[in-house]
Structure 1
């Protein structure tokens, strides 16, 4: 049977996009679904088409017959292992690309941070992300973002540097300098109060699950690397570790930008 006879129209659309190189995030944005839903569809697609790699998927969609060696009763396990391997390779490629971008940035921090946030959202299956600078005494300012809903971005722009409650995610991060992983921002008691940041995050941003990673410069809190899902799907330890890696790279990028800026200032004619 051909793929068109085996897969639903939505599965065909997702399979074709993935085989052509689109990421979970790109497919999710185009179809208006969560990145995790894309992955669930792909696991089903791999099992139905009896493939174990993106190359095999591309071949099957192009008319190649299924691999006669794949046993149907093992198909679900094989499809899961195949996707997990591809995701591991994608993580390695993304981190290598981030390092390449940082090394060639010449201090162009906006482009670098946009790329870092983009990779983080894709690999952590999140809808949007924000990098906050810390200005001391639980005061933050959103300096870079990716995928953020317009109403939330407008609110952050209007606030500029703002103080946060110690009960918010950013407030807890500023106090303890540790990762803050919130199952559902609407489920916490804080959401029932008039806290402006929690209201903006949940209502204007539509966020539900949230993780904030401290960005440390030595022993000083430099900022927070935050990513958000618009459904209740807590971040796993693996996703949090990935976010920590991207937060660490963000600190490196910011330090590099400051050094480049300082060197340019020193070389300017008096």
Structure 2
């Protein structure tokens, strides 16, 4: 039995935490992201976040460094330091998420420098970071073809039957009432609390019904990709539960989307130059 400096019995993490919580705590303390942990455990990133909030509260820690120390055997703080443990754990996770978002945003510069004409690789990287920024499980990077027409250039995390539906549609018209249609009109973020709560879902709109029924979408956001004033594409990112996206995350994702246009243009330009060189 161990005791901390305040004379309180020191309970070990493997006694306090469930096996799943302990596994997530160790992964997170070692630097893995919500998405990496979720992918390995076949759960949603939001579920990882919920577990971590509980872990922080149970272990009475307020940072990733403190979490690592507790897992390595350090003592818990004195009781008078943890009167607001639930609030502290929430604030700590929010701060770490903000730092993670800034790190993901800076990664776009690396994407631009690394891109050597491999558009598919660039699109996959961009969409992955957009999902991390918004703490979402599912996303689609759409290419814009003008006059409310889009095609799914790349997807991540969406169900296979929704993927098959998008492939079958190829280039398709989205309709003014959809998230993409509204985004095209205003060239701004469209944030929908629950796609199933809108009247459009009770009509025969094919995109909305496919997104909700095949994709399992609930909270949804469409983020325009703009080259100057010209719309070139969009991210649509969604969660499979009603958990609305906050303004901070979507604003950061918009900045990321604007920078991502540079990465895609750079990759395409290099690809075209290489093709031209090969033909000569």
Report what 2:222 is aligned to: 212
TM-score between the two structures when normalised by the length of structure 1: 0.92
The 8 Å contact of residues 128 and 229 in structure 1, kept in 2 or not, is answered as yes
Alpha carbons 1:3, 1:12 under 8 Å: kept: yes
SS in 2 for 1:73: coil
User: Which residue is 2:83 aligned to?
Assistant: 73
Cα drift, residue 265 of structure 1? 4.1
Written as runs of structure 1 = structure 2, the 5 A alignment for 1:150-161 is: 150-161=160-171
Structure 1 residue 41: Cα displacement? 2.3
Q: Does 1:105 align with 2:115?
A: yes
The 3 A distance-change label for structure 1 pair 269 and 171 is: closer
Q: Deviations over 1:168-194 (max 9, x none)?
A: 111111222221111111111111111
Q: 2: distance between equivalents of 1:202 and 1:269? A: 45
Aligned to 1:232: 242
2:46 is the counterpart of 1:24 = no
Q: Residue 166 of structure 2: SS of its match in structure 1?
A: helix
1:167 is matched with 177
| 1:193 corresponds to | 203
**Residue 41 in 1 paired to residue 51 in 2?**
yes
Q: How large is the RMSD of aligned CA atoms in angstroms?
A: 1.9
TM-score, length-scaled by structure 2: 0.89
Match of 2:74 in 1: 64
Q: Which moved more, 1:112-121 or 1:126-135?
A: 112-121
CA contact (8 A) 2:122 2:267 kept: no
| Partner-residue secondary structure (3-state), 1:214 | strand
Q: Where in structure 1 are there 5+ consecutive unaligned residues?
A: none
Corresponding position of 1:136 = 146
Does structure 1 conserve the Cα–Cα contact (< 8 Å) formed by 2:178 and 2:200?
yes
| Structure 1 residues 121 and 269, CA gap change in structure 2 (3 angstroms) | closer
